[in-house]
Amino acid sequence: MVDLKLLAYLEEFISATRKERFLRILEERTKFLTVAIEDVFQLHNTSAVIRSCEVFGIQDAHIIEGRFGKRLDKNIAMGAQQWVDVHRHENSKSCIEHLRGEGYQIIATTPHEGSCLLEDFNIDKKTALFFGTEKEGLSEEVMRLADGYLKIPMVGFTESLNISVSAAIILQNLSVKVKQLNFPWQLTEVEKIAKRLDWTKKSIKSIDAILARYYK
């Protein structure tokens, strides 16, 4: 349970404007849709996807770091990693198992024949979108375990887009669709309060000293 007294105490250290902004943004946040980024080599691409998650209200992002290690660049993400919950996984299988355990369907983004066009995709259940490496795409394991496949319609000679561009296009489209659902796509009240506390802590420079005084 979130310590409501602590939240009220800490909110005294931030402006009323910032507090109101937190409340407004949290009303647009969702965990109904999430992303998983598989072994992307160019770290700025991973960071750009996290930034897109933040912009379009996606609260959770999953990074699979089995091959290349940590791929998040704070400069590219421009602080988005403070507001998005980033979950790290050692391999794709463990990530998929975790997401399935949370009730997500696994959707592989791929330009291959047979994939559902973005405009036709029906997001009627919790969905985890998997994005792969720039050159190789998603691993065979993800392709084999996926529940479905999704692609952006393209009419030019180029067969694929940069991962960060693809993620931005797909997230913008699906985040709009999610908000038109009759399902409870928003964060729960408990989740909203927990994020208020988290974001408030991150907004206070001397948070350690302030927390020490509170608990003393």
Buried (b) or exposed (e) across 38-60, using 16+ Cβ within 10 A?
bbbebbebbbbbbbbbbebbbbb
The average confidence (pLDDT) of the chain is 89
pLDDT in tens, 90-148: 899 999 999 999 999 999 999 887 889 999 999 999 999 999 876 778 999 999 999 99
pLDDT in tens, 56-70: 999 999 999 765 455
What pLDDT band is residue 79 in, cutting at 50, 70 and 90? low
- Which amino acid, one-letter code, is at 12? E
Q: Which pair of structure tokens corresponds to residue 125?
A: 């259940």
Q: For residue 126, which of 37, 59, 202 has the smallest C-alpha distance?
A: 59
Q: How many residues does the chain have?
A: 216
Give 108's strand partners.
Answer: 130, 149
pLDDT tops 60 at residue 71? no
pLDDT at 65: 78
pLDDT at 58: 97
Spell out the domains of the chain, with CATH numbers in brackets. 1-27+188-216 (no CATH), 34-185 (3.40.1280.10)
Percent of the chain with pLDDT over 90: 70
Q: Which pair of structure tokens corresponds to residue 17?
A: 């404007």
What pLDDT band is residue 77 in, cutting at 50, 70 and 90? very low
pLDDT in tens, 5-42: 999 999 999 999 999 999 999 999 999 999 999 876 66
pLDDT at 42: 65
- The CA distance from 161 to 134, in Å, is 9
